[in-house]
Amino acid sequence: MTQTDALSIPLPPDEQALQWLWDVKTPGYVFDPSIVLARYRKLRELLDSRLIVSLKANSNLELLIRCGHGFVDGVELASLGELDLAVGRISSTKYVNNPSMDETFMRAALASRCVFIIDSLGQAERLIAVLGKQPAPQTILRLNAAELMPGRRKEAADHFGMSPQEAMLAAAALSRADVPVIGLHSFVGSHQFRVDERGGDSADLAHALAALAGDIERVAGAPIAMLNCGGGFGERFHEDESVFAAYRERLAPLRQRFQLAHESGRAIFAGAGLFATRVRAVKTLGGQTIAVCDGGLSHNFLLARTESAIKKYAAPRLLRRQPAPEGAAVQPVRFVGSTCSRADVIGWQPDPQAAPAVGDLVIFDQCGAYHPSYSVSGFLSLGAAGAYIHQTGETA
């Protein structure tokens, strides 16, 4: 596997190539740092801009140690815990971004020379109060995407960032305190990156930020050098490069004046992670096989699709210890977890097949982003899933 094509952990037809998975203690995640770095380089190339890594997508320490050197444009940190992981391990710029940032978080970020992404006027005032006589940090103002683009209010609505009017007040307050405002930031949301023929594409956000920059500059008394245009890139971003060509063309006029940046976590980490769980019990119910696994929504909440109106479950790969008996009955298989919640369904294989056996491995791909961190492990005191590193390619 080369660096350019290493964009997801391979699940080859030859089961011999997956034998290493039997050594994984389940339920557990397996991360490949070479794929993280390959996806980072690929997305950065397609965007032709700075690319900031959102560490919330995967904050596994062992993975960060192996990949941190490759995140050349910096990382975005949303908690004091993430900051603690990055300090001493990330030499590039650290951006802190959280609407609830308190004084303790701010003081730690100041000590670590972070760039502050300011979410509100109140947060700007709190930073000024904490700052005292310390050297001022660089700041970036976060704009609410729906307020910035009223015509796209429905799809862009959330509770992050400021209105343009509040951003002007924040810029004025920071300027009076001699805190430099170096850029503007906005983000529409996950899976929202698109380019369409009507012009209502993701570049609209960048152009809206650029249109506001002049007003912010007049209040701040200094040029706005950087636009962070967010991201919203999907897990399989690399499958259609023509979309990025159109996007780069739409951004071309802005490059003459601004340094452009994007941020991503999902696109970088998703394909670099597998989730493995073992079958613990098997039964037939309602014309389908029920495979009860040792891993479920307590270990991989996102697989349960509880936040989706239409539940389209992932179809996992089954690694059998022994071949299915010849002539065995076949039927669809529902993969469920070990809790007492009816929502604990993590996979569905609609194609009829022989029932799994106790001890077989169930493997889900595209689980490297948010799946490890967006799960509540306290239910039934089951504990969190394990995490392992498996290298399939070169990291440098």
Chosen domain end from 236, 268, 300: 268
Q: Which of 66, 64, 69 is nearest to 77 (CA)?
A: 64
Q: How confident is the model at residue 391 (pLDDT cuts 50, 70, 90)?
A: confident
Measured distance CA(163)–CA(191) in Å, rounded = 23
Which run of H or E residues covers position 249?
helix 241-251
Residues 128 and 213 in one domain: yes
Is 10 part of any domain?
A: no
Clarify whether residues 222 and 146 are in a common domain: yes
Position 2 scores a pLDDT of: 29
**Rounded Cα distance, 184 and 190, in Å:** 19
Say if residue 131 is in the same domain as residue 254. Answer: yes
How many distinct structural domains can be found in the chain? 2
Taking only the tens place, the pLDDT of each residue in 255-308 is 999 999 999 999 999 999 999 999 999 999 999 999 999 999 999 999 999 888
58-97: per-residue pLDDT in tens? 999 999 999 999 999 999 999 999 999 999 999 999 999 9
> Is there a single domain that holds both residue 125 and residue 225?
yes
Give pTM, 2 decimals. 0.92
pLDDT tens sequence across 89-129: 999 999 999 999 999 999 999 999 999 999 999 999 999 99
117 and 130, same domain (yes or no): yes
Residue 7 lies in a domain: no
Both 249 and 291 in one domain: the answer is no
Q: The domain containing residue 333 runs over which residues? A: 15-28+270-389
Q: Which helix (H) or strand (E) holds 283?
A: strand 273-285
What CATH number does the domain containing 318 carry?
Answer: 2.40.37.10
**How many percent of the chain have pLDDT more than 70?**
92
- Statement to judge: residues 139 and 99 lie in one domain: yes
Q: Is a pLDDT exceeding 90 seen at residue 179? A: yes
Contact 142, 186 (CB under 8 A): yes
> Are both 301 and 260 inside the same structural domain?
no
Which is higher by pLDDT, 382 or 282?
282
pLDDT over 70 (residue 379): no
229 is catalytic: no
The helix (H) or strand (E) run that includes residue 30 is strand 28-31
What does the pLDDT look like over 223-232, one tens digit per residue?
Answer: 999 999 998 9
Residues 24 and 38 in one domain: no
* Residue 114 lies inside a defined structural domain of this protein: yes
* 219, part of any domain: yes
Residues 249 and 293 in one domain: no
Catalytic, out of 114, 229, 340, 367: 340
6: in domain: no
Asked if residue 184 and residue 41 are part of one domain, the reply reads: yes
- 3-state secondary structure at position 96: strand
pLDDT tens, residue by residue, 323-351: 999 999 999 999 999 988 999 999 999 99
CATH, residue 127: 3.20.20.10
Q: What is the DSSP letter of 378?
A: -
Per the model's pLDDT, the better-predicted residue between 242 and 9 turns out to be 242
